Structure 1
């Protein structure tokens, strides 16, 4: 194969790959913008203000929420911090570390027990409702965090795709330049070794 033909094929392949990477980068950037805008909009609609002051003095809370104190909750990172280090902390304190399922089981058992103290049953019912609402809010916030994380991944993917596209365009243009510099008759010999030296004549 002639060297110019080989360079042309490589250049065309490089341009195709560069174009595909450019398109992928554009789609990933669109995905990032779409996800980020929706996460921001959905969280902003809840009108949640991150706790501050005495509300975050607990050592289980302060290290994670102090950087967001008093801010409007609009990002995935804020949502995760609020869900895991504020709501969950208060849920665990209220229930003594018991889960919703455990408290619900206790409530059902107490309700069925004719000898159970009505005040205890009512307390378990209130705790069950509190944990249910806490789990629901945590689930919504953590979903927002998950989507926000996917948006961030899409952003980094877009950056990598744009860099790859730029490199491939540059290499393709270098291939075009190299094609112009090689003699038209030069051949590419892939896998062809040097001819073997003739065996010495035997007298």
Structure 2
């Protein structure tokens, strides 16, 4: 009786598991093709070997970043691992260097952090303007502060620094994070596809073994 139940279960799972495995494999292949197509439409190319060397020499990227980028030099992004490398070892590396050269502390080197730093400096600028123009009310001081920040010829160092931070936030962190978000999203879907393909292969293998046990000839002692 137990042997009959066992064989029946083997037959059921011997059919179900391979079917699920085939579906998972197809889904994984679709995810990989989709990622490749989307990355291909963006036409993003890894830096060439010469460019990598120049950027290491100018400290735009580290030697560790260059070592990771080198095997893919000049290649157009086609898969998830390439997308992650470009996002983390090229785009992010440039973002960090830009923040460092702008004098932004490491713990503030984010979109929100730069915004907070600019807000702090803006308060200092308003206080300085208020001291220089005691006849002005808070609203007038705020308006003057905005004008000074936008004025390329302002005489206030704080205003120039705030303008620099605004540019850094919009051109470096906002655009950089947007690119990284797209690339890391592609990597995430590629990774899901890889997991689905591995799981699919495992289910097909296990289902095949169970099928052989369930549908194979019964051996009598």
TM-aligned CA deviation for residue 6 of structure 1: 4.3
1:29 to 19, 25, 28: 25
Give the alignment of 1:5-84 within 5 angstroms. Answer: 5-57=1-53, 58=56, 59-84=63-88
- DSSP-derived class of the 1:177 partner: coil
The answer on 1:159 being equivalent to 2:163 is no
Check whether the contact 1:50–1:71 (CA below 8 A) recurs between aligned residues: yes
TM superposition outliers: structure 1 runs of 4+ over 4 Å: none
Over alpha carbons, which structure has the higher Rg? 1
Counterpart of 2:150 in structure 1 is none
Counterpart of 2:120 in structure 1 is 109
Counterpart of 2:161 in structure 1 is 120
Counterpart of 1:192 in structure 2 is none
TM-aligned CA deviation for residue 32 of structure 1: 0.2
1:98-135 deviations in whole A, cap 9, x for unaligned? 22211111223334524453322221111111111101
TM-score by length of 2: 0.73
1:17-63 deviations in whole A, cap 9, x for unaligned? 11111111011112101211111111111110111223323203211
**CA–CA distance in structure 1, aligned partners of residues 65 and 18 of structure 2:** 43
Unmatched 5+ stretches in structure 1: 183-203
Alignment RMSD (CA, Å): 1.7
Unmatched 5+ stretches in structure 2: 57-62, 101-105, 129-155
**CA–CA distance in structure 1, aligned partners of residues 69 and 24 of structure 2:** 31
TM-score by length of 1: 0.79
Higher helix share: 2
**CA–CA distance in structure 1, aligned partners of residues 50 and 82 of structure 2:** 19
2:176 to 134, 141, 158: 134
- Aligned length in residues: 175
